[in-house]
Structure 1
Amino acid sequence: MAGKRKRKNADRRPGIHPRNKYADNTPDFGLLASSYPSFEQYVFYSHDGRPKIDWTDFNATRELTRVLLLHDHGINWWIPDGQLCPTVPNRSNYIHWIEDLLASDIIGVSKSDDDVIKGFDIGTGANCIYPLLGASVLGWKFVGSDITDVAVEWANRNVESNPNISDLIEIRRVGTEDITSQVEELQTGGSAGLRRSYNGPPVLLGVVKDGEIFDFCMCNPPFFETMEEAGLNPKTSCGGTLEEMVCFGGELAFITRIIEDSVKLKHTFRWYTSMVGRKYNLSILVSELWNVGATVVKTTEFVQGRTSRWGLAWSFLSIARKITLAPSNNKIDRNNLSFMLEGLQRHQSAFHVLQSVESHFASGGILCKLDAASFNVDVFQQNPGALLVRGTLHEKTSSVPGLFPSIFQHLEEFLTRTFRTGKLSANLSR
């Protein structure tokens, strides 16, 4: 602003994450075929000469995943027939999104015994893809849980096949015999308003041990209610067992159980996250999270080809009230400033705040332009009643840099007065 009035474009269809290894270079099937004879047998060439594979052939998709993990990440990997076969670019997107959440300044940093990030993968599967990628690419520690003997056996095999990262990953067997009194209490007490149709094995409660603290959990949930529903897409073959693909109530019931568990575990995790397969379910889950008292809820979209999945994240940690981005060389970064507006009415949205920002600068002779030559002001919805206002200085050689902290402080004072003294309606009616 002065700036630019900038709004978050929630409707923009995102692509692959910019830090994803495949963001600029999609997998080269021709190169992989020439490097790995085991993959070459599955590659054919289209009329325009492009190498392709048959996505409905499980053996082809499994071999592609194997060679991508080996070629690009140095990971040795295999799964038996019938197990869920993940796509590497899509799973990498999820890992990098969590990396963004952990690096954000929305909530405080939890104290831990060391500086290593520790995650929990709910239903890691035989493929164990998230712990393997997280440990290999980012050096994170993981606990991966699962309920079947085959999944636990092959997840352990995949971990042991990579001794350079094996000490970072623990595979934890879950079974109905592990249900604790906490889980029984949740099933009978629970949080009002949440669905309780999930009646399977423990998810987090009864699996997370007393005293354990994690930076995040993640989950690729069973998306479907029946195997028939799971097999409706004839254009792909990713395998998948009954336990991996299906649960009573589908993904909505399963993720609702994660929400129920998170209400009890609260600060055991800094961020709770899950993949969501249907956008309709995403809106239901977001509403439920606000109802149970989450302090912040975040969503994103993962796109691969014609397939979309959504990421859902929430936390119960307190939102940072006043934020100045990390100091550089022992000096405060005065080019990036932000503050929280809290205690707002539900009808007071980010759009209303942006209108007031424009009005404030216009009254001082600073016009809002589209070039953002000097600085930007962004407004982000955190939760009902709380907005994050962030200012970023761009033109460091003008007279603005020295004035920017003062300008931003005056903006904070103006918005606080406007939105806490009932002046909003008057401002908007001018």
Structure 2
Amino acid sequence: MGGGRKRRRDGKEAPVIHPRNRYAAAAPDFAMLASLYPSFSPFVSVSRGRASIDFTDFSATRELTRVLLLHDHGVNWWIPDGQLCPTVPNRSNYIHWIEDLLSSDLIPPISSSNKTVRGFDIGTGANCIYPLLGASLLGWSFVGSDVTDVALEWAKKNVESNPQIANLIEIRNAKKLSCSSESEAVVGEAVKQNALEPVDGVVKSKPPILLGIVKDSESFDFCMCNPPFFKSIEEAGLNKKTSYGGTAEEMVCPGGEQAFITHIIEDSVSLKNSFRWFTSMVGRKANLKLLVSKVREAGASVVKTTEFVQGETARWGLAWSFIVPRKMIISSSTQGKVSHSFMLYGFRREYGAFQVLKSAETFFHASNLSCKTDTSLFSIDVTLSDEQAQAAMLHHESDPVEGSSAKLQSAVTGISFRISVFEQMPGTLLVKGSLLNKALSGNPCSSCE
């Protein structure tokens, strides 16, 4: 569980635990925890100087999770027998991956960046692990939803046991749908998106996931989900090496994780403007590939995947967004550099290099700039008149050094630059801007937008 990189059976390096994970440098010290928490001590055995616990004992895994949350996160926590018991280091990986997605410049925030990050945990369970970790580690706020009485009862108890973060977490009953006009509109949209299915000639709704639970006025930075991975309870019990509990409602659904996450994808189409990122954990790599295809077919602008360290068990993360991605600018401050470039991600197949080039040509013409397009080279040469160049310089030099602006303007006799567009791979374009005026090469622009 430590930070060392391991080798797979195929010889490739396995992914390491997330570098910001509290357990990246070293695995939990069972002996130390046993000395500090007497309730944990009976579950710890020492052999050849190495302390361990029996991971096939549900009581041992539950007590380990309890003391880790208390000792390392200051969180009070408990679940009744049989409920799904999460592992703290592995669940932290998911939280930190979402943190990476949110901190990247790829997808702009829905709302003001100075507001608290807000997440939605689909099927939070009795353990309520993701809201508790997200709130305690990063100060995020959460809505956690579930459908069973025991999950809702114990999730609320776990929140109320931690008054320091209780105001950041709301537990919502996914079965208790409002009969307001808002709800009716949501159901109408669900029918359009095939979220309602005919069974024996009668239209019955799928179990509520996002549609009907998320209110029309709400917006979230992300949703996350540890879905029911299995199609049957027999399939769920195949791993005899561990015992983390789990009820049928938590572990099993018709069609397994593929059907459940497909339902999230369907809901995301209707709620594309309510979430910055949609995410889910995935248990099987074969399902991951299929789900990526479904997300792309749904029209997502960006799709991201990752692999989580889960001891001997592999898990993957799937994330997607419908928001138009920002340009990723790759620039250099090196003096004399006359070329700057950035990547455009998430384009649909019908928007290739030629279409982007023609859009740029239309923009420059609309701006009254002189431009010449060479479709064979996928490039546009653009020239600014003396007046346009000097106006641009005055606008750029918001706080010029004395005399510098005048020197620049006197040297400019019309700026010329070239825009080139290259297709790197389907959905990804490289846009390059090159300054053609060699006399200005010592004064590169900070970016080409």
TM-score category of the 2 structures, normalised to the smaller one: 0.7 to 0.9
Which amino acid in structure 2 is aligned with residue 73 of structure 1?
Answer: H
CA RMSD of aligned residues (A): 3.5
Considering only CA atoms, is the larger Rg found in Structure 1 or Structure 2?
2
* 8 Å contact kept, 1:199–1:248: no
How far the C-alpha of 1:113 sits from its partner, in A, is 8.8
Query: Is residue 304 from structure 1 mapped to residue 303 from structure 2 by the alignment?
Result: no
1:338 and 2:342 are equivalent in the alignment: yes
**Does the 8 Å CA contact 2:327/2:342 hold for their aligned counterparts?**
no
Deviations 1:377-420 (A, max 9, x none): xx9989x4224689xxxxxxxxxxx97967986xx9xxxxxxxx
- Give runs of aligned pairs for residues 234-253 of structure 1, distance below 5 A: 234-253=240-259
> Do residues 189 (structure 1) and 187 (structure 2) align?
no
- Asked if structure 2 preserves the Cα contact closer than 8 Å seen for 1:121 and 1:131, the reply is yes
Alignment counterpart, residue 385 of structure 1, candidates 402, 427, 436 = 427
| Distance 1:186-1:35 versus aligned 2 partners, 3 A rule | same
Higher relative contact order (CA 8 A, sep 6+): 1
In 2, Cα distance between equivalents of 1:344 and 1:265? 20
Structure 2 counterparts to residues 26-175 of structure 1, below 5 A: 26-46=27-47, 48-112=48-112, 115-175=115-175
Q: For 1:263 and 1:183, how far apart are their aligned partners in 2?
A: 12
Counterparts of 1:32 and 1:320 in 2: how far apart (Å)? 46
Q: Is the 8 A contact 1:342 1:387 kept in 2?
A: no
Question: Could you tell me which residue of structure 2 aligns to residue 232 of structure 1?
Answer: 238
Counterpart of 1:286, as a letter, is V
Match of 2:279 in 1: 273
- What is the SS of the residue equivalent to 1:37? coil
> 1:64 is aligned with what amino acid?
L
1:188 CA drift (Å): 3.9
Structure 1 residue 195 displacement after superposition: 11
Measure, in 2, the Cα distance between the counterparts of 1:346 and 1:13. Answer: 36
When normalised by structure 1's length, the TM-score is 0.74
Measure, in 1, the Cα distance between the counterparts of 2:236 and 2:151: 19
Q: 1:200–1:60: structure 2 CA closer, same or farther, 3 Å change rule?
A: farther
- Counterpart residue number, 2:392: none
Give the TM-score normalised by the residue count of structure 2: 0.71
Counterpart CA distance in 2 for 1:147 and 1:71 is 30
CA contact (8 A) 2:300 2:321 kept: yes
CA positional deviation for 1:174: 1.4
User: Counterparts of 1:93 and 1:87 in 2: how far apart (Å)?
Assistant: 10
| Runs (5+) with no aligned partner, structure 1 | 1-10, 328-333, 350-378, 391-401, 413-430
Change (3 A) 1:290 1:345: closer
Distance 1:55 1:405, change over 3 A: farther
Cα distance, 1:112–1:39 mapped onto 2, change above 3 Å: same
Aligned-partner residue type, residue 55 of structure 2: W
Partner of 1:399: none
Matched with 2:390 is none
Deviation at 1:303, TM superposition (A): 1.2
Residue aligned with 2:280, SS: strand
d(CA) in 2 for partners of 1:337, 1:30: 53
In the alignment, the residues of structure 1 paired with residue 74 and residue 198 of structure 2 have an alpha-carbon distance, to the nearest angstrom, of 42
8 Å Cα contact 1:217/1:271 also seen in 2:
yes
Give, in angstroms, the shift of residue 14 of structure 1: 1.2
CA contact under 8 A between 2:341 and 2:430: conserved in structure 1? no
Partner Cα distance (1:24, 1:104) in 2: 24
From the superposition, tell whether residues 137 and 239 of structure 1 become closer, same or farther in structure 2 (CA, over 3 Å): same
Q: Which residue of 1 aligns with 2:366?
A: none
Aligned-partner Cα distance in 1 for 2:75–2:429: 42
Please give the alpha-carbon distance, in whole angstroms, between the structure 2 residues aligned to 1:254 and 1:138. Answer: 28
Give 1:107 deviation, angstroms.
Answer: 1.5
Given the superposition, is the C-alpha separation of residues 60 and 199 from structure 1 closer, same or farther in structure 2, using an over 3 Å criterion? farther
Partner Cα distance (2:30, 2:346) in 1: 52
1:259 alignment partner AA: I
Q: 1:19 matched to which residue of 2?
A: 20
CA displacement at 1:16 relative to structure 2:
0.5
